[in-house]
């Protein structure tokens, strides 16, 4: 659907709704038993972080994500069909079905890779920022990670190097209040995470993740500074609507807390604001939602119909094409057993 307004908020709503609906379909794919592997992590409730930051990035900028990174990748232009195929472990996915939900990457869109290791993708943006500086480009690199990564030493080493070398880097902590089942205030005595970055010499800011306009405004300032060699650290406070992973029923949270947390819904807030300003009405938003739902329904059909990876491609993209592929376990066993029979 073509939006009938030039409002930036309308565009933000459109993208957040696409992310939300895609994530809902990812959950459906899992329930159907059609996702690859037994783990996936949804970013429902965190859409404003992905869209608010991502909307300020440009072609040529790079980024890394954590294991809850579907929304960030969509915000940077990913094709939801190829994403769903990857999550389903299909050959047509972004990584030919070998990455799955937590290891999607696409260098063409600047995605240096998602990472299932907490904080694992953070140091990559330091290298990317250093490369951008040497090329004398104005590109930046952004690391997206959860609040759990603030307990990893690699974050602080990376912040120190970025500040010391004046790199075009932005660190974005999506603070959804929980590192797996532990609340942030039970994990640290100093939950004002952006203040830690200031002590390293970075620009630090904290923003309400239920308000995509505010996230976009603050992120825009930090990204502008990063392009001029002033790295920054942004904390986006939001609430994780569901458990850590798809099978986590959140026994560590009570119903009252979850109900209050879900009131901080960035998608619902953007919709209400659009209506209250008279920029869009219920009917036009409902029609937009229906079209997005149809688009995302088609991603499951696309993934279900996609081809399974072929056995002879198992080592593709793993070893240098010029080197002989390693012998598969199946072939090795057949050879060893055949020799034994001959003896």
- CATH value at residue 281: 3.40.50.970
The H-or-E segment that residue 98 falls in is: none
Q: Is residue 330 part of a domain?
A: yes
Does the pLDDT value for residue 165 go beyond 60? Answer: yes
- Residue-level length of the chain: 343
Distance of CA 56 to the CA centre of its chain: 16
Q: Is residue 167 part of a domain?
A: yes
Q: Is residue 277 part of a domain?
A: yes
Q: Is residue 2 part of a domain?
A: no
Total tally of structural domains belonging to the chain: 1
> How crowded is residue 29: how many other Cβ atoms within 10 Å of its Cβ?
22
Q: Is residue 3 part of a domain?
A: no
Domain residues for the domain of 219 are 8-342
Task: Look at phi and psi of residue 6 and say left if phi exceeds 0, alpha if psi is from -120 to 50, else beta.
Answer: alpha
Split at pLDDT 50, 70, 90, the class of 339 is confident
Beta strands in the chain (DSSP E): 62-65, 111-114, 141-146, 169-175, 178-179, 182-183, 203-208, 232-237
Yes or no: say if 221 and 233 are a contact pair by the CB < 8 Å rule.
no
pLDDT for 338 equals: 81
Residues 6+ apart with CB under 8 A from 274: 7, 9, 10, 13, 280, 285
Reported as a single tens digit per residue, the pLDDT across 195-211 is: 999 999 999 999 999 99
Q: Is residue 1 part of a domain?
A: no
Average pLDDT over residues 37-50: 89
> Which alpha helices (DSSP H) does 166-264 contain, by range?
184-187, 194-199, 212-227, 255-261
Distances (CA, A) of 102 to 42, 89, 138, 293: 11, 11, 29, 24
- High-pLDDT (> 90) share of the chain, %: 70
Q: Torsion angle of alpha carbons 159, 162, 164, 167, nearest 10°?
A: -160
Does the pLDDT value for residue 183 go beyond 90? Answer: no
Does the pLDDT value for residue 2 go beyond 50? Answer: no
Q: Is residue 160 part of a domain?
A: yes
pTM of the model: 0.90
Reported as a single tens digit per residue, the pLDDT across 217-268 is: 999 999 999 999 999 999 999 998 988 887 778 888 888 988 898 899 999 9
């Amino acid at each position: 659907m073509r939006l009938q307004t030039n409002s930036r908020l309308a565009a933000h709503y459109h993208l957040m709704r696409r992310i939300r609906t895609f994530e809902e379909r990812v959950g459906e794919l899992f329930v159907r038993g059609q996702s690859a592997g037994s783990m996936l992590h949804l970013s429902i409730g965190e859409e404003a972080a992905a869209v608010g930051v991502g909307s300020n990035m440009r072609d040529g900028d790079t980024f890394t994500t954590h294991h809850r990174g579907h929304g960030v990748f969509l915000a940077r232009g990913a094709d939801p069909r190829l994403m769903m195929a990857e999550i389903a472990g299909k050959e047509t996915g972004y990584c030919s079905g070998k990455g799955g939900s937590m290891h999607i990457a696409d260098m063409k869109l600047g995605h240096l890779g998602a990472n299932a290791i907490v904080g694992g993708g953070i140091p990559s943006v330091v290298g990317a920022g250093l490369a951008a500086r040497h090329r004398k480009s104005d590109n930046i690199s952004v690391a997206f990670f959860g609040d759990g990564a603030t307990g990893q030493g690699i974050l602080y080493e990376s912040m120190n190097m970025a500040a010391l070398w004046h790199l075009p880097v932005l660190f974005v902590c999506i603070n959804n209040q929980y590192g797996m089942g532990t609340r942030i205030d039970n994990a640290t005595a100093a939950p004002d995470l952006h203040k830690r970055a200031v002590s390293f010499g970075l620009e630090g800011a904290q923003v309400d993740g239920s308000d995509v306009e505010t996230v976009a405004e603050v992120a825009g300032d930090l990204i502008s500074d990063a392009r001029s060699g002033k790295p920054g650290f942004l904390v986006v406070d939001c609430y994780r609507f569901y458990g850590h992973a798809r099978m986590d029923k959140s026994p560590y949270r009570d119903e009252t807390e979850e109900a209050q947390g879900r009131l901080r819904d960035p998608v619902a807030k953007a919709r209400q604001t659009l209506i209250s300003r008279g920029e869009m009405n219920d009917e036009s938003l409902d029609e937009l939602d229906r079209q997005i739902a149809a688009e995302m329904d088609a991603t499951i059909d696309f993934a279900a119909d996609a081809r399974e990876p072929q056995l002879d491609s198992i080592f593709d993209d793993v070893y240098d094409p010029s080197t002989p592929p390693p012998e598969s376990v199946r072939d090795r066993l057949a050879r060893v057993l055949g020799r034994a029979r001959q003896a």
